Every structure is written in C-alpha cells, then in structure tokens.
Chains A and B, each alone.
Chain A
Amino acid sequence: MGTYEHTIKVFDDEIGQLRGLIAQMGGLAEQAIGDAIEALKRHDLETAAEIVRNDKKIDQLEVQAEELAVRIIALRAPLADDLRDVVAALKIAGVIERIADYAKNIAKRTPLIDSHSEIEPLSVLPAMAALAIEMVHDVLDAFAARDAEAAQQVCARDRAVDDFYNSLFRVLVTHMMENPATIGQVTHLLFIAKNLERIGDHATNIAEMVYFAATGTHMAERDRGAFVTRQGE
C-alpha cells in the first residue's frame, strides 16, 4: 500500500519527515534501554547520568513530531491510509517518549543499587531487557514497513517478557524474605523489572497502532491470543 507517490510531492516529503522523526526517537529509546541495563550491570554511574540527560533529546523530538503531525493535518488534510499513518505517528511518538522515560527511570535507580551486591537476578535482567529492546526495535521496523503481520508477531512476544517479569518477581520476593537487609536495593530491581515489562506492553501498544494504520481495522483480541498460542506450541 502507499506504493506510489502523491500528486503533491511535498506531501510525501512531509510524511517522510514525520516517519523519520519517529525512527530517530525509536533508535534513541532503544539505545537508552540498552545503555541503562549495561550501566546497571557495570554500576557505571557516569553513563547512567548521561542517559538521564539525553532523555531531553527524545522529549524534543516528540514535540517536533507533534508539531509536524498537526501541521500536516491542518495543511494537507490527509485521508484514508495517509490519515491513519499521521495519527499513528502522533500516538507512537508519545509512546516512545514513555518508553524512554522507563529507560531514564532505570538509569536513575542505578546509583541506589550497591555495586558489590551479589543479587542473582541482576544476571537475568539483561536477557529480559534484550527481549524488550528487540520488541521496540521490531515494532518500529514494522511501522517503517507498514507491515501488519510483523506488528502482530511483536504482540505475540509480549508474553515472554511477562513471563520473565513473573519469574523475576518470585525470585526477588524470595530473596527479600531471605535477606531482609537487601529489601531497599531489591525493590529497585523489582521496579526495574517492572519497567522492562511496561516497555514490552508499550511496544505491544505501538504494534496495535501499526496494525491499524496499515489495515484500517483493529487487531482482534482473539487473534492476538490465537497467535500467542500458536507461538507457544
């Protein structure tokens, strides 16, 4: 769909710019999550502080994307798939900004976790983060390609992130019961796990927006369920 150009070429340019901003935001958000987990692992407070500072860039890009989307709607009056595309971009920009906030939140907690702590889940978090990053990455690829099927596959993977979270939750609570002195630190780890779980949820939300923009219909709840079941077989 949308294979050939609009009669008014500048319209294509503007939609291209808007999609470029989303891709840029997505790239920065992905990197922020990865860096935040890496900084946590290595107790790298410098990098953690930088992630917090860099979040402003993503906020600025969101403002730019919003302004551009509003301008396109006002001046070009987009219709059909163009309209769905612009509305999706507008909403996705907001969701990526939230995803980046979770990365920032992880970075903010990093100084509060003792560098010498031997808390076992610390080794599981990077694997969970890798999965969440992959979801964000793939859903933005799906947006760039207007690929509804790829978006659906991202949704199917949210289950795995949830599973990670549920098992981490049990492990961390057990750890806290056995080592009450670590409750403060481990609570931060629990929040970090929760942040990653929320990032997976947000990637799923984006996938639904991509699906709607591409097809004009909403992803059916039961389709998503069926897909998850098939994947799990």
Chain B
Amino acid sequence: MTAASHKISARHVNVFYGDKQAISDVSIDFDRDVVTALIGPSGCGKSTFLRTLNRMNDTIPSARVEGEIDLDGEDIYAPEMDVVQLRARVGMVFQKPNPFPKSIFENVAYGPRIHGLASNHAQLADIVERSLKRAGLWDEVKDRLSDSGTALSGGQQQRLCIARAIAVDPEVILMDEPCSALDPIATAKIEELIHELKGRYAIVIVTHNMQQAARVSQRTAFFHLGALVESGTTSDIFTNPRQERTKDYITGRYG
C-alpha cells in the first residue's frame, strides 16, 4: 500500500522535549474503519505520539517533532497546514472529560459554529442532535439541552466530549485514556460507542487497560521507552506477540 491510501501515515517520527527524546523513529499507519490501540507502560511515549497526530504538541514550547505525518497523503507539519482545520479533521477526546462550562447544546454547537458548518440555527440544532445521537447521549439529555454540560455525570460528560469531537465531522478521532475516570458501566457505554463509531472514522485510542485494548481495537501497537516495539492485529498481539518485551508487558511480567 502507498502512504496515501492510509488515513494517517507516520514515518520516522521523533519527538523531543528540549534535549530529551520522547519518541524515537516511529513509523505506523492508521486506517478508517479501524480502531488502533496504543499500549505501553507509563512514560513510554504513547500519549506523546498520539498528540503528534493533530499537532497538540505545538502547544508545548519545548516540544519538537521530526519525521513525517501524512493525513490523506498531506504532510500535517507542512507550513501551509491550517492547524485549526487539522484539529477539526483529527478530533481528540481526553482522559478527564472536559466540557466547557456552558450548556450541553453550546458544548456541541461550538465547533460547527466556529468552523462555519451551519448557516442557521435549525442546521446547527440538526448537527447537535445528530452528534448527540451518534455519541449515544441524545435520549438522556434531549429535554435539558440548556443545562450546563458540567452538571452531567462523568460518563455522560465524556460522551458529550465525544459528541463535541464528532460535531465538526472529523476523519480521525484520537482518544487519550477516555475511560480512565469512568465506572465500568460508563466505560462499557464508551466502548460500545467506539465500536459504533469505527465505521466512520479512524480511531486511535491510548489505554492502560489491556482488556479494553483487546475489546475495542482491531490493531494494537506496543510502545516502550519511546519506541514502537511491535504493532499488529489485536488478536495476534494478545495471543502470540512476536517480541519478548510485548509479551512481558501484556502478561504482567514487566519490570
């Protein structure tokens, strides 16, 4: 396959924080219709790598990214790349739900409004409804759209953040431990949602939970000390990893 046929193609990516190298020579592809889990011990660079995919690291002054990351064959680090536009195409959901201190409606409407995706209120309301439905939250909030987003439960807040991310019609969704602050039922709802969203987007999820990686992803990549040790189909990684380090980590023999 050529690089252009992948949704995202990362080649020889290095990331530095000042003098310290956080990511070394990582090359990996992400495809639409596929959930890819990034796993590895704390500090292995998986979140740092995730953040290179929509240039979140730009906000850290000492961070420097080398190598090439293409979105549909287009270098996202090229000078002409519009970063605001990029982050609409490559949305992100964080570890702790972070709704704006505004109404549920406004939380979802904010992105489409600033990106000019709706020309009137009816269209905007459509997008909000569709996004909340897709995030599996509509039935729970449809009668209280003007309530504050922060008044929702943790699991609902996280689904609101997913609704917010998909409201701008992204192509890729990055998730950085989206369930680590949620209880098992809320986690199951997010996982079911990831499963449903898979058909529309390329999804990349960072998780510390092996079983979650096994449940939600089709491909898994194992990071260790800033390097990509091994990537492959999730069933291969969890039943028959090629690398000793991968095996030791997933079987709980690490360290």
Contacts and interface: CB of A to CB of B under 8 A. Distances in A.
B253 A4 contact: yes
A81 B214 CA distance: 15
Given A77-B210, A77-B211, A82 B239 contact: no
B120 interface: no
Interface in A136-178: none
Interface residues on B, range: 10 to 19
Nearest to A212: B240
Interface string B214-255: 100000000000000000000000111100101110111111
Contacts of A80: 238-241, 246-247, 250-251
Contacts of A4: 248, 253
Contact of B240 (A7, A8, A77, A217): A217
A75 interface: no
Interface string A71-91: 000000111111110000000
A81 B242 CA distance: 11
A5 B253 contact: yes
Interface string A4-23: 11111001000000000000
Contacts of A1: 244, 247
Contacts, number: 42
Contacts of A82: 251
Interface in A1-54: 1-2, 4-8, 11
Interface SS of chain A: loop
Query: Size band of the A side of the interface?
Result: 10 to 19
A81 to B, nearest CB: 6
A83 B211 contact: no
A11 B239 contact: no
A79 B255 contact: no
The listed residue with most A CB atoms (<10 A of its CB), out of B246, B253, B254, is B253
A216 B250 contact: no
A7 B238 contact: no
Nearest to A217: B240
Nearest to B240: A216
Nearest to A78: B251
Given A7-B254, A7-B255, A80-B251, 10 more contacts: A4-B253, A6-B253, A8-B252, A79-B210, A79-B214, A80-B239, A80-B241, A83-B239, A216-B240, A217-B240
6 contacts: A1-B244, A77-B211, A80-B241, A80-B250, A81-B251, A83-B238
Interface of A: 1-2, 4-8, 11, 77-84, 216-217
